[in-house]
Every structure is written in structure tokens, then in C-alpha cells.
Structure 1
Amino acid sequence: MPAWTTPDPVALHARTQPDRVACVDLASGRKWTYAALDAAIQRTVGVLETGHGIEPGQRIATLARNSADLLILQQAAMRLGAIFVPLNWRLASAEQRAILEDCDPVLLLHDAAPEMALPRGCMPIEVPAFAEAVAARAPAPRRPLSASDAPSIILYTSGTSGQPKGVIVTEGNALATAVNFGVLGRVGNASIFLCDAPMFHVIGLITSLRPPLLQGGTLLISPGFDAGLTNRRLADPTLGVTHYFCVPQMARMLREHPDFAPARWTSLTAIFTGGAPNPAANINWWLEQGVCMVDGFGMTEAGTVLGMPVEADRIARKAGSAGLPAPTIGLRIVDEDGRDVAAGEPGEIWLSGPSITSGYWNRPEETASAFTADGWFRTGDIARQDDEGFVTLVDRRKDMFISGGENVYPVEIEMVLLDHPDIAEAAVIGVADRRWGEVGRAFVVLKPGRVVDPAALVSHCGARIARYKVPKEFLITDVLPRTASGKIQKHILHTWTAPASGHN
């Protein structure tokens, strides 16, 4: 069978609905119809190909805040057969340098001068200068598209446990994610996405952009999250936002802002959350405000995996669950021997399907170890699936610890702590203990102006979970270390030890 070529929804909609608004850059006010966006992408192809001599397979890196220019660049790289590599601008310069050395790009687009020396052969150029060159260029002739299984994007994982890995994303993977989230999230031709999740992350670059582009919807791209601006945009009838994707920490900042007015979010289908656990109590609070908070589960390596229904009564009945598997996802929950577990039993999630990555850039051994002999992707996430098919995440396999011979999953304890009225954030790790082997250490961020006695937290937990699960230490801290996507960096918490560290 001939190779299936890369899908190109922008080119399709430039012909089916050329005058529909495809994209708005909220910072600059620039707008593109589908016809104009298609032409801008082709002009960018010309700048890359003849202006910079970029060839298929070469890498183009970015170190810049969200903008429509990044979307246009990625789509142009895709049409050229080059590989788009967005860097996390929140990383230290040494971390950014390590990623650049790993992916070896020929071009780096940036909106602030890089603080590190660039690898040899990597040319830096500022985003505004690049955009000016694009505006002055005639559209390049169209060329045949690459095969859909060729690498198109490299997304470096957030590094919850150390050194980031480059996850290879093909256009076939991205299309499957567009289908998966599009079905679960009720995305259609009239959908309008507010996009302020960072575009160096799978949520910002794939989940927030590809479903509406596939359907011919509209993207509203902002430079980044701002609680006040986002509140006002969600309430703005002239924008008509239907879909908004964020991590639970962003949602909390929205509700704590003075401009929070969910009754005015009249066009919103739902707030979609992922990237970190979302407690049932939190989801139910949003339902009481008249907002469907639709939790889900995805990964850089797999795109959208699970999603809750967009039905308030179904959400309430299953609050705390990450939902049902997306249509192109094959999912198993297995024990340590790779056997399927019974309904309600915890096990590791294994995945298959067209959205699953082919592997990690320059890491053949890690790629091989991520897949079973018959091709299932091992996620490392522990979950339970009930008899209706709804999946609830339990924890990361590596975060589980054993206390007195019993398996303890920190997320379960964290959910209990987050039910406490004085606690804003919580994280639990296992630490060595002479008597029990390992015990829990909880790091707690209090709500403003609150004071809590650790003994009261022991009682709070003891009334809700087994005694062996109750942490032996509760350390109060001002902040938890998180990745840009909102995940807690537990490897850093393991370096936060006693009160002398300042995290007590």
C-alpha cells in the first residue's frame, strides 16, 4: 500500500471555507482567514527553503511565547518536511542548551536573545524579523507532502523526574489526537478555542490547535495565561469562546481572580483540564457554578487518551475519574506480569493506536524499553477501570512506595489532603523509614491566611484512608516545584528534607 501522506486541514479549509476566520493573534490583533493562513504558511515555506536553505528532516527550534507566528512556522515546517522543536522558555539556559545539542537545529526563532551559546550551525533569528521576511515573500510553489509517519515535531517532556526526552510526533499522531479530543470534546466547525497553554507542550501545540483546525474552527492565540485577561476573554461575547484547556492550577487562579464571572461564559462548552490530578470536590464546585469541568488524561507520547463526557450529570456521578478511552485509543490495565486486571483493580495503563509516538529522539534503548514485544506502549501510570469503562488515575508507578508491605499511591493521599478546607496544594512522596521500610512525607501549601496543625491533618487523613497511608510528616511550604505543564516535580521534593531546608 502506498505511504499515506501528511494531512493538511488548513489547505483543505482554504478551499472549502476560504473566508472563515482561522486564527486571531490576540496580542497584536492580527487575523487570518483560512485562505490567508494557507498563503502565509506557503510564504513561510519559501523563507525556510530559499531564504535559509532548510531541507526535509532538518530541525527548526523556537524559544518564544505563544503567537500565531509559531503556528504558521510549524505548519510551514510540516509542509517542507522539516521538524519543529519548541523549547520551554522557562527552563534554565543550561537545560535549553542541552536540548538544542540533542536535536541539533539549523535555525532558532526567539523572542528574547538566547542566554546560552548556540550549537554550531544553528542560526538565531528574532520572531518579528522572521515575520517581516515572511510578509515580503511570495508564496512558494507547493511540493508533495511527506509521509504521515515521518517525524514532524519533537516535544521535550517536562522533566518530572530529571532530564527531558524528545518525544517524536508525526502528523499521523497529531491527526489522531485531533480526532480523539475532537470526539470527546465536542469540537465542530463552529468551535472557537482560546489558546494560552504554552505551545512547547502537547496541550498547547497539539490538543488546543489541531482539533479546531481539523474541523475548520477558529483559534484565538494569546501569549500566555493571565487570570484576569482569560476571565475577561471567556466572558466576552464578541470572542464567543467555546473551548478552553488548562491545568487545574490555572483553573484555581481563574476562580480566585476578582474578574471571575462564570455566569457570563455563555458560549463555553466546557473547561477541559489535564496535566495534573483534579480532585472530585474541585470538579463538583465548578459544576455548582454552572460550568462543565471536563477532566481527562493525555501524554506527550500519546496525545489525548481519556476524557470525561460533556454532560454535567455524568461528570457529577463520576467526578474524579479521567473518563473513557478516546476512539482511536487501545487501552489495557495490566499487572506486573502484563496480565489484564479485574475491574476495579489497580494496574499499569498500556496503550496502542495511531496517536502513540514512534519513540524518543536519539534514544533507541529508551524507545525499545517503552514498548512491549507486541507493540503496547507502557505509560508507567497506575489506574483503575470500573465496570462501565471509566478510568481513574491512581498514580505514577515510580511514585508508588511500599510501607509495611502495603502499596501506597501518593495521589490518593493528595486527593484527601486537597479536601481539607485550609489546603491549596499538596504533594506526597515516600521516604525511607527504619521500621516500615518507607513512609509518607506530605508537602502542603496553605490557602492565604490559613494556619493548620499537623496533628489535625493526621486526624483528617486518618478518617478517610487506612492508617498505613497517613503521612508521618507534614511540611508546610510556600510553593511546590512544578513543570510548565503543572506537574509536580517529585524528584526535587526528594531533595527537600528536614525543617533546616526551609520547607517546613
Structure 2
Amino acid sequence: MDFLTFQANFRPDSLAVQDLTYDRSWSFSEYNLLVSKFSAYLLQRGIKQGDRVACVSKNRAEVVALHLACARCKAIFVPLNWRLALFEIESLLDDCEPSLVFGDEKAAEIGLAFEPIDNLISDTAAISGEDLIAFDDDAASLILYSSGTTGQPKGAIHTEATLMETVLNSTLLYEVDQHSVFLAESPMFHVIGLIASVRPVLYNGGRLVISDGFIPERTLERLSDSELGITHYFCIPQMANALRQEASFNPVNLKHLKALLTGGAPHPEVQIRRWLNDGIAIVDGYGMSETGSLLGMPHQLNLIDQSAGCVGTSPPRLTIRLLDEQGNIVKAGEPGEVQVKGANLFKGYWRKSALFNNSFTADGWFKTGDIARQNEQGFYRVVDRKKDMFISGGENVYPAEVEAVVLKHPQVFECAMIGVPDDKWGEVGCLFVVCNSDVKCLDLEGLNHYLASHLAKYKIPKSTVVLDVLPRNGAGKVLKHVLLESVA
């Protein structure tokens, strides 16, 4: 029995899913039946264990139902980034070779061949949904392609057992119960959108509210709606900052939120403290496609304030360690690569077994590629991606640490730094800046003077480029390889 079937038996008439875009809702018993119908339909279409079912669609109730239906018939759900170009999506389809491809208007816009996902409910109306094969926790049920900041996406394979670990970890980290109401706006081709925003709340008997995407003014209105009653909302720091920029922003209207959950990118302390000063728990966390939810901050404002910028501690069902370049456990406060062990870990990279094997240490720890420090309170702070670190004059430079300082400058809206070759120092920093909307021209001399008083000399970027926007992928992460190409 899966968690949705349990809740359908345990609280059949409780409201389970609301789809705001199409003004639809289902109780647990109704949504469980819908998933069963979808699963039976897939079997009728000849889907067998291990077959892939791809989906190119914005958030909607059918995406979640199709995902859960695939698990019930041992198929593998493959959600794809609808923001990609046709060539990019076709490359992923060539890689995963799906038996079926479902899509919406986003798939149609790029000329992709697909079956309309909005026909699924009508196409399955006459199906009973009762004759299903046995549920299997250990069968592969999901391939999540990475967000591709390196330009080389890879598909992380999960089973229902590994995904359940994320549910259990998230339940503790996010304080989820039957009264929780999650607004799911993060794209459902991403671990936050499809897993963290969906499964914990349904598992615990709460309510899932689905939105087709983030529009700051509309999102703020929904978060402020006391009747809708949202308790949890996932976003990246840039989205949280965009909410504060809205003319209608009033923190009083958000006091009912249990947590504004952020992740996916470094979160500057200055931005965190703006929320804390308004009495709102902005809770940073950390995870990835390969691991699900790994770390989370407590929800108490004073604890967040003491360790602002940290991403929290790990739940009891997994273990984390930090290792230096020589493979030694680092001392408290020192940087080291985050390595993970636990039943939450993915089972492989689709058709990339060598890459999967190389992602683990000899003693079985997954190498995340992220550098972090652990403070005296036991909370971790992600310093940077290991691959983003560069060495200038023999000193390690972590761009994210520099970016956090730059973001405190009054003229800077957002920024990113990369290492570029230098004849004298080996590598030096190149800073990319997006100015605040009221800044006509960046005071570069003033910025450099500010940085000189806040950073070691070797950390100060040697060049600065002003941009209108930073290049980002579908998950909101800055594409640093694109920035590097622009100055190569």
C-alpha cells in the first residue's frame, strides 16, 4: 500500500489536492482513484515495468497523478524541463527513450510530438482503476535530470524507497502534519517541485495546493490569503526577494506562514534578516536531485538569526561528513566537501554507470561536490561548489563567500563571481553584477573600496562586468559556465 492509498482509507473525505490554475479539487479518496485510473490506463497502453513515461508540462494535478501512477505500475516517470529548446528536450528523450510522452501547451509551443496531458482525465473516465499489479518500493520510479549548471544534464534514478526517505526527512525538517498546506509552485521537473513540495504534505494527510508557476504579485496574494491557508512555501532566494519587491508586500499578511522554505542557491544573510525582522521564519535547507532533502534550519526565529546563512542540520535517517582534499575529516569551522550516506541516496545515473561509480568514495559515501563548514551550533553553511572554487596565488577562493559580501553593497541587486586565468596569480575573480533598479551607473570605485574593507586582498575580484540579468537554468541556479564563456 502506498501513502496515498493509506490516506484515502484513513481520511477519505478530507481535501487533498487543489489545482488553482484550473479551479479543481479532489478529496483523498477521489485523488487516489484518479491515480489508480491513470495507472490502469498506462497498463492498457502496454506500459511494463521499467518503461519510461516522459512529461513536458507546467505544474498541474495531472503531473502529480501521473507520477504516482507510474510507481503503481512499476514504470519510471521522467519529468522534463519545459523551458528547454526542442533540440535539448529531444536529446533527453533520446537518452531516456520513453514509451509515452505527455505534454501541455509548453510542449506544443516548441513543436514537440506528445499526447495531451489535459486529456488524461477524460480518457480514463470509464476505467475502474482496480486491477493493478503489486506496488514495489524497490522498483525504479523516477528519473530526475539534473538542472545542468555544467551544461551536461544527467538523470538520477530513484525508487519509491529512496523517495520515502526524503518524505520522512522532510516531515521532520519542515514540521509537516495533517494541518499543513503546501503551495507547490516550483517546477515539477525539479526535486523541490515534484518531491519536497508534494509528497510530505500528502503523506501526512495535509493539503497540496498546485500553482502553474511563480508570478510575484499573484504568489504574494495567495500566500496572504487566510482562507487558502498556506503554511509552507518552497522557493529559491531570488523568488523570496522578488516577493519583497512587490508594492503590495506587507509582512503582517504572511505571519500565518509556518515557514518560507528556501534553497537551491546561497542565501545572503542580509536578505534573511529582513524576513526575521518582520517576524517571518525563512528557513534555509539543502538537498539535490541525487539525495532529496538533506539539511534544514529550525523554524525558531532566534535560532535562524544566530546562524543566518546556514542550511541547518541533518535528520536522523542519514549521515553527513566533511572531508578535506586529502580525505581527512575537517575540524569544526573548516571547509570540507559534503559527503552523504543513507537510504535516501539515488540508485544510479541513467546510462551513466561510470559517472555513478565515480560519485562515491571507496567506503561508500556520496560526494556532493559542495563545500561546507559546520559551526559551533552544529549547523552547516554551504560555502560553494567544489568546482567553483579557484586558487589565487596559492589561496583557496570560494566565490559564494565573496558574493555574500558583494550583495550587502547598497547598489547591488544580485551577483556572481567566477575564477578566470591570470598570468601572475594563476586565477583571479571576475565579478558579474546586476544593479538595483534605481542605480543608473555602478560606482565601481566605491564598490572596490567597500570590498577592500570587508575581504582579504586575494578574494577581491580583479574585474567587474555589469549585466541586466544573470543567466539561470530552470531551477533558478546561475549558469556560471555561460558567464565563463562570455569572458573567455
- Give the shorter-chain TM-score range: over 0.9
- Note if contact 1:26-1:222 (Cα within 8 Å) is conserved in structure 2: yes
- Note if contact 2:285-2:311 (Cα within 8 Å) is conserved in structure 1: yes
Q: Which amino acid aligns with 1:238?
A: E
- Note if contact 2:290-2:346 (Cα within 8 Å) is conserved in structure 1: yes
Residue 39 of structure 2 is aligned to residue 49 of structure 1: no
Three-state SS of the structure 2 residue aligned to 1:37 is: helix
Three-state SS of the structure 1 residue aligned to 2:387 is: helix
Which position in structure 1 is the counterpart of 2:277?
Answer: 288
Which position in structure 2 is the counterpart of 1:397?
Answer: 386
Taking the aligned partners of 1:437 and 1:47, their CA distance within structure 2 comes to 59
- Note if contact 2:73-2:132 (Cα within 8 Å) is conserved in structure 1: no
Structure 1, gaps ≥5 residues long: 1-6, 499-504
Q: In the TM superposition, what whole-angstrom CA distance separates every residue of 1:113-162 from its partner, at most 9, and x where no partner exists?
A: 456787xxxx721012222102332223132112x232110010011011
- Note if contact 1:97-1:116 (Cα within 8 Å) is conserved in structure 2: no
- Note if contact 2:80-2:145 (Cα within 8 Å) is conserved in structure 1: yes
Taking the aligned partners of 1:332 and 1:179, their CA distance within structure 2 comes to 20
Taking the aligned partners of 1:467 and 1:336, their CA distance within structure 2 comes to 24
Taking the aligned partners of 2:442 and 2:364, their CA distance within structure 1 comes to 49
Which position in structure 1 is the counterpart of 2:486?
Answer: 496
Which position in structure 1 is the counterpart of 2:11?
Answer: 17
Alpha-carbon shift at residue 206 of structure 1 (Å): 0.5
Residue 331 of structure 1 is aligned with which of 320, 328, 331? 320
In the TM superposition, 1:383-422 aligns within 5 A as 383-422=372-411
Three-state SS of the structure 2 residue aligned to 1:211 is: helix
Which position in structure 1 is the counterpart of 2:233?
Answer: 244
Taking the aligned partners of 2:88 and 2:171, their CA distance within structure 1 comes to 34
Taking the aligned partners of 1:35 and 1:368, their CA distance within structure 2 comes to 42
Taking the aligned partners of 2:129 and 2:140, their CA distance within structure 1 comes to 24
- Note if contact 2:86-2:111 (Cα within 8 Å) is conserved in structure 1: no
- Note if contact 1:45-1:140 (Cα within 8 Å) is conserved in structure 2: no
Q: Which amino acid aligns with 2:129?
A: P
Residue 33 of structure 2 is aligned to residue 39 of structure 1: yes
Which position in structure 2 is the counterpart of 1:179?
Answer: 168
Three-state SS of the structure 2 residue aligned to 1:496 is: helix
Residue 470 of structure 1 is aligned with which of 447, 460, 465? 460
- Note if contact 1:242-1:270 (Cα within 8 Å) is conserved in structure 2: yes
Q: Which amino acid aligns with 1:27?
A: T
Which position in structure 2 is the counterpart of 1:154?
Answer: 143
Which position in structure 2 is the counterpart of 1:484?
Answer: 474
Which position in structure 2 is the counterpart of 1:3?
Answer: none
- Note if contact 2:255-2:279 (Cα within 8 Å) is conserved in structure 1: no
Q: Which amino acid aligns with 1:185?
A: Y
Identity of aligned residues (%): 45
- Note if contact 1:197-1:225 (Cα within 8 Å) is conserved in structure 2: yes
In the TM superposition, 1:163-174 aligns within 5 A as 163-174=152-163
- Note if contact 2:296-2:314 (Cα within 8 Å) is conserved in structure 1: yes
- Note if contact 1:9-1:216 (Cα within 8 Å) is conserved in structure 2: no
Taking the aligned partners of 1:398 and 1:469, their CA distance within structure 2 comes to 17
Residue 173 of structure 2 is aligned to residue 192 of structure 1: no
Q: In the TM superposition, what whole-angstrom CA distance separates every residue of 1:396-431 from its partner, at most 9, and x where no partner exists?
A: 111111101111010010000011111111100000
Q: In the TM superposition, what whole-angstrom CA distance separates every residue of 1:253-303 from its partner, at most 9, and x where no partner exists?
A: 111112222211243101000000101111000111121100111111111
Taking the aligned partners of 1:134 and 1:244, their CA distance within structure 2 comes to 32
Taking the aligned partners of 1:114 and 1:352, their CA distance within structure 2 comes to 41
Which position in structure 2 is the counterpart of 1:502?
Answer: none
Taking the aligned partners of 1:405 and 1:183, their CA distance within structure 2 comes to 42
TM-score by length of structure 2 reads 0.97
Change (3 A) 1:156 1:33: same
Residue 347 of structure 2 is aligned to residue 347 of structure 1: no
Taking the aligned partners of 2:62 and 2:264, their CA distance within structure 1 comes to 25
Residue 250 of structure 2 is aligned with which of 240, 255, 261? 261
Q: Which amino acid aligns with 1:496?
A: S
- Note if contact 1:158-1:485 (Cα within 8 Å) is conserved in structure 2: yes
- Note if contact 1:97-1:117 (Cα within 8 Å) is conserved in structure 2: no
Taking the aligned partners of 2:2 and 2:327, their CA distance within structure 1 comes to 38
Structure 2, gaps ≥5 residues long: none
- Note if contact 2:40-2:132 (Cα within 8 Å) is conserved in structure 1: no
Taking the aligned partners of 1:267 and 1:158, their CA distance within structure 2 comes to 32
Taking the aligned partners of 1:417 and 1:428, their CA distance within structure 2 comes to 10
Which position in structure 1 is the counterpart of 2:310?
Answer: 321
Which position in structure 2 is the counterpart of 1:307?
Answer: 296
Taking the aligned partners of 1:114 and 1:355, their CA distance within structure 2 comes to 35
Three-state SS of the structure 2 residue aligned to 1:184 is: helix
- Give RMSD over aligned pairs: 1.3
Taking the aligned partners of 1:331 and 1:409, their CA distance within structure 2 comes to 21
Greater Cα shift, 265-274 or 68-77: 265-274
Taking the aligned partners of 1:398 and 1:163, their CA distance within structure 2 comes to 14
Q: In the TM superposition, what whole-angstrom CA distance separates every residue of 1:44-97 from its partner, at most 9, and x where no partner exists?
A: 1121111x1111110000001000011111111110000000000011111101
Count of aligned pairs between the two proteins: 486
Residue 157 of structure 2 is aligned to residue 143 of structure 1: no
- Note if contact 1:304-1:326 (Cα within 8 Å) is conserved in structure 2: no
| Runs of 4 or more above 6 Å deviation | 115-118
Q: Which amino acid aligns with 1:95?
A: E
Taking the aligned partners of 2:402 and 2:46, their CA distance within structure 1 comes to 54
Taking the aligned partners of 2:380 and 2:203, their CA distance within structure 1 comes to 27
Three-state SS of the structure 1 residue aligned to 2:339 is: strand
TM-score by length of structure 1 reads 0.94
- Note if contact 2:150-2:481 (Cα within 8 Å) is conserved in structure 1: yes
Taking the aligned partners of 2:376 and 2:305, their CA distance within structure 1 comes to 17
Three-state SS of the structure 1 residue aligned to 2:383 is: strand
Q: Which amino acid aligns with 1:455?
A: E
Which position in structure 2 is the counterpart of 1:368?
Answer: 357
Taking the aligned partners of 1:361 and 1:111, their CA distance within structure 2 comes to 25
